Structure 1
């Protein structure tokens, strides 16, 4: 318990989370077993077992695919296609931004990438067409978190590695809640444009020049083909998630070369960025493994489970408390840190109660996503602020603009908890 407390204290001071996890776990094992040599061997085993795993290959492959897609301008193509599809709706450019984010999420899986790309693409367009700046940045902040839920999602990959669950099953389980969340986002934009025009601004979407059918096909077809290749391949059983990541990366490179949008300089940037992100995720997972083993040695998860059993907390009370804790953590920590700290602690308890771990993963990711939009530490909000070239839009404006979307996410989270089939309905053999 002291080790956990010290770890959280250092994280709040700003120490990089994996370093805090590894350091406190190392000292924790040393204190429990009385041997620094054993602690060092355990750290070595944690690193080796994690990186040697075949399933870890899914991380660099999907990251590579996401960066190729982002660098080759498919984000703008997705925005143009979605904007054309929803341009006749009230608040159509906002709905189009949500649609574009949903499409982009299905080929990248990184919400921070979505936030950065659409801050550059969508925010200037929306402001130019009469939308209030606060609303424009709120739409991008809210819809960017779809990247964490709609497969392929790096957060679902991380959860799958932590809990040893099928990443393919997690991807399929994320489809229903992801689409539902996108629909709710679109509905709230239309409702706000209708009933709260002062918040939305005075949009003139109708003046936007439309795309021809040929332009729609040229921009939309490559994206559809890539989504079908990756998600269709997993769902139909043609590929494992690792193979789907490889095929997706090859497909993204091929499309970028056909469109002549990837220079040698761009390729180098993609490869370096992929290496940096993969290394940081790799470090996170090694730290999580060390932390999990320290927890197992300490007996804390078992004691925690016994405490819950003694307290006679039912399913609803346990899930309710867990969700509140995750959302509270989201106000001070980033998404992967929350999962690294809480999931290994809760795993024995959830397993003992025979709760579906795939469904629990979707609930966890949804709760974590809400934290991405809540002050004081909403990572998506900070990414948008850093990407914006407009000093008149403050962090407070972005948080206020994102608030309706955080509420919609809370509503979808409640629906997934009450009606689990939203997440598990597509899984074979699960009812």
Structure 2
């Protein structure tokens, strides 16, 4: 049996184990170990490879931002700023059918400008928005699907950690990538808003047939009191990054310090709540890092098998036009998103595509935005939609199954496909600010 055959068998086995109910990281690790053992013929080499993968995943700069941004997200949530952003956004759309869903999307858009990572948005808004949506008559499936869908905005709206990784891989300006992501990010938010209103009107059984209006409208004073702290925090984080005062990792730490100061100043934080935040941050970070470690292990097993390079070679050698090549690339990225984490997809596929695209004169800034959108679609699709698993682990509600979250997120994955098609058709959407 060739390494390629072993890789295909491990891929099929992983999918089977997940669908049988095995926890995804366990399935990934087990298939990775068995796959490398079969390819190299040594259990010792397989165990050493997995150990190195675990060490590299956690020690990497890119993954090091996870705990600081998760911590900042929980501080924002516990201090009430996340809920304040949710309240202000909801108050603006309270009279529209599906307005609470629109408020969730807008609040997540605002929050994306602080965190820069989808999993942090998913974790925070699972706690903030899902209970409120369900209380106002929205179905459980739509509530968790809305949070899963809108959480991906964190990877497009700057600062985006995935765009930082792409900039490092392709030697493109990270500042230009941030500016390029702003237009498509806002476009995706608008598509989500339009889709939510449409579903609320034409698919009430999916969204909720007895939607209640939110509480009474906020006064201007209340809007300012709730909106100014979160605005100041966004200005601190983004302003510091754009001005070059600190790196994204430092921005996460400084943003956390700013959120702590605001929380203590508002007297919504105390030592007991701070301890609870630290414990929850540790639990979520451990869960997410376990997923990331497992994905890194699986990514290395696939690399040993030659499966990704074979797929990349098929794409490169096919006699295709530019548009067909990009569409096929996006299809491969989305398919990879079903089994691998975001950074692994980028690390595997982008270096394979660069030698093909550079002689064609393709704008690599535009290509980066296309790649990120396609990757984020994969985060909502089974069997390995990491945003869905983060929501499931954060929600801790046995009545909501994993399948419910995937079904609820499906319409938003389709909306992302629409956004991807628009960005491919109109590249100027990514470059008009440059």
* Alignment TM-score, normalising by the size of structure 1: 0.76
| Number of the residue aligned with 2:279 | 269
| Number of the residue aligned with 2:201 | 194
Q: How far off is 1:317 after superposition?
A: 1.8
Q: Is the 8 A contact 1:373 1:379 kept in 2?
A: yes
| Number of the residue aligned with 1:114 | 121
Tell me the secondary structure at the aligned position of residue 353 of structure 1.
Answer: helix
> 1:166/1:64 Cα in 2 relative to 1: closer, same or farther (>3 Å)?
farther
> 1:291/1:313 Cα in 2 relative to 1: closer, same or farther (>3 Å)?
farther
- CA distance in 2 between counterparts of 1:23 and 1:164 reads 36
Identify which of 332, 338, 355 aligns with 1:325.
Answer: 332
> 1:163-178 residue pairs with structure 2 within 5 A?
163=170, 165-178=172-185
Tell me the secondary structure at the aligned position of residue 130 of structure 1.
Answer: coil
> 1:118/1:335 Cα in 2 relative to 1: closer, same or farther (>3 Å)?
same
Q: How far off is 1:82 after superposition?
A: 0.9
| Number of the residue aligned with 1:68 | 75
- CA distance in 2 between counterparts of 1:391 and 1:284 reads 24
Q: Is the 8 A contact 1:84 1:211 kept in 2?
A: yes
* Alignment TM-score, normalising by the size of structure 2: 0.76
1:312 aligns with 2:284: no
Q: Is the 8 A contact 2:299 2:340 kept in 1?
A: no
Greater shift, 220-229 or 3-12, is seen at: 3-12
| Number of the residue aligned with 1:368 | 375
Greater shift, 96-105 or 134-143, is seen at: 134-143
| Number of the residue aligned with 2:344 | 340
- CA distance in 1 between counterparts of 2:70 and 2:173 reads 19
> 1:145-156 residue pairs with structure 2 within 5 A?
145-156=152-163
> 1:25/1:421 Cα in 2 relative to 1: closer, same or farther (>3 Å)?
farther
Tell me the secondary structure at the aligned position of residue 313 of structure 1.
Answer: coil
- CA distance in 2 between counterparts of 1:56 and 1:150 reads 19
Cα-to-partner distance string for 1:116-147 (whole Å, 9 max, x where unaligned): 43333323323333334443333223222223
Q: How far off is 1:209 after superposition?
A: 1.8
> 1:285/1:178 Cα in 2 relative to 1: closer, same or farther (>3 Å)?
same
Q: How far off is 1:217 after superposition?
A: 1.8
1:215 aligns with 2:222: yes
Q: How far off is 1:349 after superposition?
A: 2.8
Q: Is the 8 A contact 2:284 2:394 kept in 1?
A: no
Tell me the secondary structure at the aligned position of residue 131 of structure 1.
Answer: coil
Q: Is the 8 A contact 1:130 1:204 kept in 2?
A: yes
Identify which of 318, 334, 353 aligns with 1:349.
Answer: 353
> 1:288/1:378 Cα in 2 relative to 1: closer, same or farther (>3 Å)?
closer
> 1:349/1:173 Cα in 2 relative to 1: closer, same or farther (>3 Å)?
same
- CA distance in 2 between counterparts of 1:50 and 1:126 reads 35
> 1:325/1:420 Cα in 2 relative to 1: closer, same or farther (>3 Å)?
same
> 1:274/1:401 Cα in 2 relative to 1: closer, same or farther (>3 Å)?
closer
Tell me the secondary structure at the aligned position of residue 137 of structure 2.
Answer: coil
Q: How far off is 1:366 after superposition?
A: 1.4
Identify which of 411, 416, 419 aligns with 1:409.
Answer: 416
Q: Is the 8 A contact 2:163 2:177 kept in 1?
A: yes
> 1:56-95 residue pairs with structure 2 within 5 A?
61-95=68-102
User: In the comparison of the two structures, how many residue pairs are matched?
Assistant: 414
Q: Is the 8 A contact 1:66 1:109 kept in 2?
A: no
Q: How far off is 1:93 after superposition?
A: 1.0
1:181 aligns with 2:188: yes
Cα-to-partner distance string for 1:59-94 (whole Å, 9 max, x where unaligned): 654444334334434322221111112112222111
1:420 aligns with 2:418: no
- CA distance in 2 between counterparts of 1:164 and 1:7 reads 34
Tell me the secondary structure at the aligned position of residue 218 of structure 2.
Answer: coil
Aligned alpha-carbon RMSD (Å)? 4.3
Q: Is the 8 A contact 2:126 2:394 kept in 1?
A: yes
- CA distance in 2 between counterparts of 1:21 and 1:420 reads 39
Greater shift, 103-112 or 56-65, is seen at: 56-65
Q: How far off is 1:340 after superposition?
A: 1.0
Q: Which runs of 5+ in 2 are unaligned?
A: 18-23
- CA distance in 2 between counterparts of 1:88 and 1:131 reads 16
1:204 aligns with 2:209: no
Q: How far off is 1:234 after superposition?
A: 2.8
Q: Is the 8 A contact 1:64 1:274 kept in 2?
A: no
